[in-house]
């Protein structure tokens, strides 16, 4: 039984067979073969061994010719290994007598050798482990051939274990079969993590290297509440988690039924709880949970995985679907936040040379550069606004000039629609994301030019603390509880209140319930969260008084380090709503 801890990014428990996607996206389709298939499977293994050896011979020749004999020798050693009768006999034996599939048997044997080498305590030999992994990949490639699995063609429930999943890959995960996923890389607020929340499947990221120990097919437990992955659990652990899975499902259902109606504190103050969505169909999840509307619609997901431009009609239809689903409740449509880790195929050229994509061409900067893209979207938003309470929001604003330029283009679009006699709404409120420190620092000035603020803590944290939100290597530097972040939030809330404009927190910080009393104590009355967090937030709010929340905020102001803030907030949450942590 192997237990790994990572960053819990989407709650819930799931148990199922592992589907491993390594860096090379290999999937071992089955662990065992039937007895009567053993001969044909052995023949397949022999063909694959021949194919792999031929490929290595070719590499040996190429390396020797172009780089020199000593480089060719690397592949000669690989060849020797793969032709080693003992190694081949071990694989054959597992297929013949244990009925392992050739893929699983090959992976099992090569991984075992790798582990033994690693454990010898000799640095030089430990380095050779990579040669064994290379051989494994090579052999698997030949074995899997056309059987190489595609995530999109799943037919059985699985737990996806991957080195990494891009946001596009995550967006395409089939919820009917993928029960949960866990990745070696990724951070708390990476878009992959956010998408896991959207798909409402348990997920853990930033686990560090662990796939080398797994072949696929093993039973895996994903504990998305505690951030734990358990591979090959023993019988007692498995039974314990089966029971916990049932309890957790029951508690969530209870919370959900209590989650209807408005969220009002015990001293009668209404707190608006909205949902964050990426796909139009999620609007239904928000409606089911009686969210107060959509506080953040990340429209760039219309583009991900696509290789073509989206037409105005495609935008319009998606927006109308969301607006109609939530009725008269507000829908904040955020203009395209493309770039960084959200790069659609057709725009790859724009970002190809970015040295540091998080600080590069991203978001509103892309829209202000590609005006056709921007205007198409703005037209669709203004047209969809006829159907309900639509608001438009610009992401990643860093200067007043950008706000003014974006508003100017919006005015142009209004004129065009008017000239063309197309039905639209002209008085759509215009807001900005506060997610770059320059805006938080000058919130007072920005507040004079917009109708609302929405604090994007995911980016605000990464840009304030200089810690990439997707990089587990710096996860310890990335912290919502850092006093600098709390100070910036305080400044933005004060500026908004002075200017009498509404302010929401739509970053993941507000989906983390321990922060909710603090945020309310800091003066926030609007929170936008991942849809599955709506019921638990309402529960916390209904157990809270504004006086208590303000006391919490005042106490937090005394703490000098994030760790103290977090442990204090955890303790307070337990007192306010013992069930909230689930
Ligand atoms: C944020 O940065 O907090 C935010 C909500 O935007 P995104 O996560 O889409 O970057
Ligand atoms: Mg952001």
| Shortest-distance Cα residue to atom 9 of ligand 1 | 298
Question: Which residues lie closer than 8 Å to 44 by C-beta, 6 or more apart?
Answer: 102, 143
Distance 480 CA to ligand 1 centre (A): 13
Q: What is the atom index within ligand 1 of the atom nearest the CA of 296?
A: 5
Residue ranges with CB less than 5 Å from ion ligand 2: 435, 456, 459
Residues with CB under 6 A from ligand 1: 194, 296, 298, 337, 435, 456-459, 506-507
Ligand 1 centroid – CA 242 distance (Å): 35
pLDDT at residue 221, rounded to an integer: 96
From the CA of 459, give the closest atom in ligand 1: 2
Region for residue 166 given its phi and psi (left: phi exceeds 0; alpha: psi -120 to 50; beta: otherwise): beta
**Looking at ligand 1, which atom is closest to the CA of residue 337?**
9
Ligand closest to 298 (CA) is: 1
**Distance, CA of 282 to CA of 302 (rounded, Å):** 13
| pLDDT (0 to 100) of residue 523 | 98
3-state secondary structure string, 415-484? Answer: HHHHHHCCCCCCCCCEEEEECCHHHHHCHHHHHCCCCEEEECHHHHHHHHHCCCCCCHHHHHHCCCCCHH
Q: Which of 90-99, 167-176, 238-247 has the lowest mean pLDDT?
A: 167-176
Count other C-beta atoms under 10 Å from residue 468's C-beta. Answer: 19
Tell which atom from ligand 1 comes closest to the C-alpha of 435: 2
Ligand nearest to the CA of residue 189, numbered in listed order: 1
Residue 342 has pLDDT above 90, yes or no: no
Q: What is the pLDDT of residue 225?
A: 87
Confidence of residue 306 (pLDDT cuts 50, 70, 90): low
Which one of 340, 506, 526, 533 would you pick to mutate in the ligand 1 pocket, going by the greatest count of ligand atoms within 8 A of its CB?
Answer: 506
Query: Which sequence spans correspond to the domains of the chain?
Result: 2-23+150-251, 35-144, 258-580
Q: How far apart are alpha carbons 76 and 56 in whole angstroms?
A: 8
> Is the pLDDT assigned to residue 144 strictly greater than 80?
no
pLDDT at residue 8 greater than cutoff 70: yes
Closest Cα to atom 8, ligand 1: which residue?
Answer: 458
> Contact at 8 Å (CB) between 397 and 364?
yes
Q: What is the mean pLDDT of residues 403-408?
A: 98
- Domain 35-144 = CATH 1.10.274.10: yes
Closest CA to 337 of 313, 368, 314, 312: 368
For the CA atoms of 287, 289, 292, 294, the dihedral, rounded to the nearest 10 degrees, stands at -60
Q: How much distance in Å is there from the Cα of 484 to the middle of ligand 2?
A: 18
The residue whose CB lies within 8 Å of the most ligand 1 atoms, and thus the one to mutate among 294, 299, 362, 456, is: 456
Report pLDDT for 312: 97
pLDDT at 263 over 60: yes
**Ligand 1 pocket mutation pick from 366, 507, 519 by most atoms within 8 angstroms of CB:** 507
pTM confidence score:
0.75
pLDDT of 146 over the 60 cut: no
Does the pLDDT at position 152 exceed 80? no
Output the CA–CA distances (angstroms, integers) from residue 139 to 71, 88, 161, 204, in the order listed: 21, 12, 20, 29
Residue 15 has pLDDT above 80, yes or no: yes
Could you give the CA distance from residue 309 to residue 302 in angstroms, rounded to a whole number? 10
Q: Which long-range contacts (CB under 8 A, 24 or more apart) does 559-568 make?
A: 559/483, 560/483, 561/483, 562/479, 562/481, 562/482, 562/483, 563/481, 565/481, 565/483, 565/486, 566/479, 566/481, 566/514
End-to-end alpha carbon distance in the chain: 25
Cα 69 to middle of ligand 2, angstroms? 51
Rounded Cα distance between 271 and 269, Å, is: 6
CA–centroid distance, 363 to ligand 2, in Å, is 9
Which residue is closest in CA terms to ligand 1's atom 1? 456
Rg of the chain over Cα atoms, rounded to whole angstroms, equals 27
pLDDT at 147: 37
Predicted confidence (pLDDT) at residue 308 exceeds the cutoff of 80: no
Alpha carbon 351 to chain centroid, angstroms: 21
Residue 434 Ramachandran class (φ > 0 left, ψ -120 to 50 alpha, else beta): beta
Select from 3.30.70.100, 3.50.30.10, 2.60.40.10, 3.50.50.60 the CATH code of 2-23+150-251. Answer: 3.50.30.10
- Tokens found for residue 25: 């996206």
CA distance 368 to 542: 43
pLDDT band at 134 (very low <50, low <70, confident <90, very high): confident
**Residue 29's pLDDT band (cuts 50, 70, 90):** low
pLDDT value at 107 more than 60:
yes
| Domain made up of 258-580: CATH architecture | Alpha-Beta Barrel (3.20)
Question: Which carries the bigger pLDDT value, residue 59 or residue 147?
Answer: 59
| Residues 436, 441: Cα–Cα separation, whole Å | 9
> Could you give the CA distance from residue 448 to residue 427 in angstroms, rounded to a whole number?
17
Indicate which ligand has the atom closest to the C-alpha of 461: 1
> Which ligand is closest in space to the CA of residue 506?
1
In this prediction, residue 533 carries a pLDDT of 93
- What the block records as the tokens of 170 is 């995550």
User: Is residue 255 predicted with pLDDT exceeding 50?
Assistant: yes
DSSP 87: H
Inter-axis angle of helices 483-499 and 457-465, to 10 degrees?
Answer: 130
Q: Pick the atom of ligand 1 nearest to 458's CA.
A: 3
Q: What is the pLDDT of residue 121?
A: 76
Q: Percentage of the chain with pLDDT > 90? A: 63
Q: Where are the alpha helices (DSSP H) in 266-346?
A: 282-288, 312-326
Closest residue by Cα to atom 3, ligand 1, is 456
Cα-based angle 132, 136, 137 (whole degrees, multiple of 5): 120
Residue 66: pLDDT band (50, 70, 90) is low
Q: What is the pLDDT of residue 150?
A: 54
Ligand 1 atom 4, closest CA:
456
Q: What is the pLDDT of residues 469-483, one digit of tens each?
A: 988 889 999 999 999
Q: Which of 397, 433, 509 to mutate to test the pocket of ligand 1 (most atoms within 8 A of CB)?
A: 433
Instruction: Of 350, 342, 346, 344, give the one whose Cα is nearest residue 366.
Output: 350
Question: In the numeric block, which tokens belong to residue 567?
Answer: 């442990």
Q: Which structure tokens are listed for 553?
A: 């905020």
Task: Note the pLDDT of residue 481.
Answer: 97
Contact 459, 436 (CB under 8 A): yes
Angle (nearest 5°) at CA 387 between 385 and 388:
75
Average pLDDT value over all residues in the chain:
90
Lowest mean per-residue pLDDT among 163-172, 278-287, 394-403: 163-172
CA distance 530 to 412: 34
Report pLDDT for 143. 83
How far apart are the C-alpha atoms of 22 and 163, rounded to whole Å? 5
Give pLDDT, residue 145.
Answer: 60
Atom of ligand 1 nearest to the CA of 456: 3
* C-alpha distances in Å from residue 239, one per residue of 4, 195, 236, 244, 380: 19, 30, 5, 9, 52
Q: Nearest CA to 479 among 514, 503, 454, 444?
A: 514
Return the active site residues. 191, 506
């Amino acid at each position: 039984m192997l237990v790994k801890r990572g960053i819990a990014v989407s709650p819930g428990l799931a148990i199922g067979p592992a589907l491993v996607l390594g860096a090379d996206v290999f999937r071992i389709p089955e662990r065992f073969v039937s007895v009567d298939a053993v001969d044909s499977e052995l023949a397949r293994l022999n063909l694959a061994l021949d194919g792999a050896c031929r490929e290595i011979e070719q590499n040996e020749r190429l390396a020797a010719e172009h780089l020199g004999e000593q480089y060719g020798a690397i592949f000669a050693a690989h060849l020797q290994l793969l032709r080693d009768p003992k190694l081949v006999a071990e694989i054959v034996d597992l297929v013949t007598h244990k009925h392992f599939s050739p893929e699983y048997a090959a992976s099992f044997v090569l991984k075992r050798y790798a582990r033994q080498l690693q454990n010898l305590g000799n640095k030089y030999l430990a380095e050779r482990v990579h040669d064994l992994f290379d051989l494994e990949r090579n052999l698997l490639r030949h074995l899997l051939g056309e059987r190489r699995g595609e995530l999109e063609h799943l037919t059985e429930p699985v737990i996806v274990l991957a080195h990494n999943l891009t946001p596009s890959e995550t967006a395409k995960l089939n919820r009917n079969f993928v029960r949960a996923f866990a990745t070696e890389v990724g951070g708390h607020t990476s878009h992959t993590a956010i998408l896991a929340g959207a798909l409402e499947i348990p997920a853990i990221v930033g686990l560090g290297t662990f796939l080398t120990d797994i072949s696929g097919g093993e039973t895996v437990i994903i504990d998305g509440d505690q951030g734990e992955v358990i591979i090959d659990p023993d019988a007692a652990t498995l039974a314990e988690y089966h029971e916990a899975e049932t309890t957790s499902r029951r508690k969530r259902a209870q919370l959900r039924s209590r989650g209807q109606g408005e969220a009002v504190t015990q001293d009668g103050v209404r707190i608006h709880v909205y949902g964050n969505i990426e796909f139009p169909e999620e609007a239904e999840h928000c409606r089911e949970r009686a969210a107060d509307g959509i506080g953040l619609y990340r429209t760039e997901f219309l583009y991900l995985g696509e290789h073509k431009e989206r037409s105005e009609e495609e935008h319009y239809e998606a927006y109308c679907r969301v607006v109609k689903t939530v009725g008269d409740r507000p829908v904040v449509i955020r203009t395209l936040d493309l770039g960084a880790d959200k790069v659609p195929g057709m725009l790859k050229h724009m970002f190809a040379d970015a040295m540091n994509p998080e600080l590069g061409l991203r978001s509103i900067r892309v829209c202000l550069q590609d005006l056709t893209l921007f205007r198409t979207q703005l037209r669709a938003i203004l047209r969809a606004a006829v159907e309900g309470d639509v608001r438009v929001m610009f992401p990643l604003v860093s200067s007043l000039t950008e706000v003014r330029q974006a508003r100017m283009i919006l005015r142009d679009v209004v004129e065009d629609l008017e000239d063309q006699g197309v039905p639209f709404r002209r008085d759509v409120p215009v807001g900005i994301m506060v997610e770059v420190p320059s805006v938080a620092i000058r919130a007072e000035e920005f507040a004079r030019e917009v109708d609302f603020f929405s604090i994007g803590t995911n980016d605000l944290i990464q840009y304030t603390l200089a810690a990439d939100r997707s990089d587990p290597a710096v996860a310890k530097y990335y912290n919502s509880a850092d006093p600098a972040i709390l100070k910036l939030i305080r400044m933005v809330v004060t500026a908004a209140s002075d200017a009498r404009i509404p302010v929401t927190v739509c970053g993941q910080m507000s989906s983390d319930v321990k922060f909710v009393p603090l945020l309310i104590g800091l003066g926030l009355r609007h929170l936008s969260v991942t849809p599955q967090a709506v019921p638990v937030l309402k529960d916390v709010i209904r157990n809270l008084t504004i006086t208590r929340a303000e006391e919490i905020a005042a106490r937090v102001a005394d703490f000098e380090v994030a760790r103290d803030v977090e442990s204090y907030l955890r303790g307070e949450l337990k007192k306010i709503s013992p069930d909230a942590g689930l």
